[in-house]
A and B are shown apart, each in its own frame.
Chain A
Amino acid sequence: MTAKLTNNQIAWRAAQDIPDRAYVNLGIGFPEKVAQYQPPGREVIFHTENGILNFGESPAPGQEDWDVINAGKKAVTLKPGSAFFHHADSFAMVRGGHLDVAILGAYEVAETGDLANWSTGPKGVPAVGGAMDLVHGAKRVAVITDHVTRDGKPKLVQRCSLPLTGVACVTRIYTSLAVIDIEGGRFVLRERLPSLSLDELQALTGAELLVPGPIADLIVPEL
Chain B
Amino acid sequence: MDKTVADPATAVAGIDDGMTVMIGGFGGAGSPIELIHALIDRYRATGHPTGLTVVNNNAGNGHVGLAALIEAGMVRKLICSFPRSADPVVFTDLYLAGKIELELVPQGTLAERIRAGGAGIPAFYTPTSYGTDLAEGKPVAEFEGRPYVQERWLKADVALVKAEQADPHGNLTYRAAARNFGPLMCMAAANTIVQARQVVAAGAIDPETVVTPGIFVQTVVEVSDPHQEEVLNRADAAYPLEA
Contact of B128 among A65, A133, A163, A164 (CB under 8 A): A133
For residue B168, give the distance in angstroms from its CB to the closest CB of chain A.
Answer: 23
**Given A86-B180, A86-B181, A128 contacting B27 (CB threshold 8 A):** no
Binds B, one of A47-55, A100-108, A201-209: A47-55
A87 interface contact, C-beta 8 A: yes
Give chain B nearest CB distance to A112 CB in angstroms. 10
Stretch at the interface among A6-14, A90-98, A172-180, A190-198: A90-98
Chain A contact residues: over half helix, strand or loop, or mixed?
loop
Contacts of A114 in B (CB 8 A): 131
Chain B residues within 8 Å of A51, by CB: 26, 177, 179-180
**Which stretch of A37-45, A66-74, A143-151 is in the interface?**
A66-74
Is A130 part of the contact surface with B, judged by Cβ < 8 Å? yes
A33 at the interface (CB under 8 A from B): no
Asked whether A88 lies within 8 Å of B111 as measured between CB atoms, the reply is yes
**Looking at the complex, which one of B108, B131, B175, B211 makes contact with A167 (CB distance below 8 Å)?**
B131
Most buried by A among B108, B131, B180, B184: B108
How many Å lie between the Cα of A86 and that of B111 in the bound state? Answer: 9
Instruction: Count B interface residues, CB 8 Å.
Output: 55
- A126-B104 in contact (CB<8A): yes
Quick check: B132 and A132 within 8 Å, CB to CB?
A: yes
Q: Using a CB-CB cutoff of 8 Å, which residues 1-40 of chain B contact chain A?
A: 26-30
B55 to chain A, nearest CB (A): 12
Counting chain A CB atoms within 10 Å of each CB, the highest count among B28, B96, B105, B130 belongs to B130
Of the residues A50, A69, A91, A129, contact of B112 by C-beta under 8 Å:
A91
Closest beta carbon of chain B to A136's beta carbon, Å = 4
* CA gap between A129 and B181 in the complex, in Å: 14
A66-B230, A68-B177, A127-B82 known; A73 vs B27 contact (CB < 8 Å): yes
A67 touches B177 (CB 8 A): yes
Q: Is A22 an interface residue (CB 8 A)?
A: no
CA of A66 to CA of B162 in the docked complex: distance in angstroms? Answer: 14
A124-158 CB mask vs B (1 if < 8 Å, else 0) is: 11111111110010000000000000000000000
Contacts of B243 in A (CB 8 A): none
Task: List the B side residues contacting A125 at CB < 8 Å.
Answer: 59, 83-84, 88, 91-92, 95-96, 102
- For the complex with contacts A86-B111, A125-B59, 14 further pairs of A-B residues with Cβ separation under 8 Å are A52-B176, A67-B29, A84-B179, A87-B181, A88-B112, A91-B112, A95-B108, A126-B102, A131-B106, A132-B109, A132-B134, A164-B131, A164-B133, A166-B132
Binding site for A on B (CB under 8 A): 26-30, 57, 59, 81-86, 88, 91-92, 95-96, 102, 104-112, 114-115, 126-134, 174-184, 211, 228-231
Interface residues, chain A, CB within 8 Å of chain B?
48-52, 64-69, 73, 84-88, 90-91, 94-95, 114, 119, 124-133, 136, 163-167
Nearest first, the 10 A-B pairs at minimum CB distance are A91-B108, A133-B108, A167-B131, A87-B111, A67-B176, A129-B82, A130-B107, A132-B106, A136-B127, A66-B230
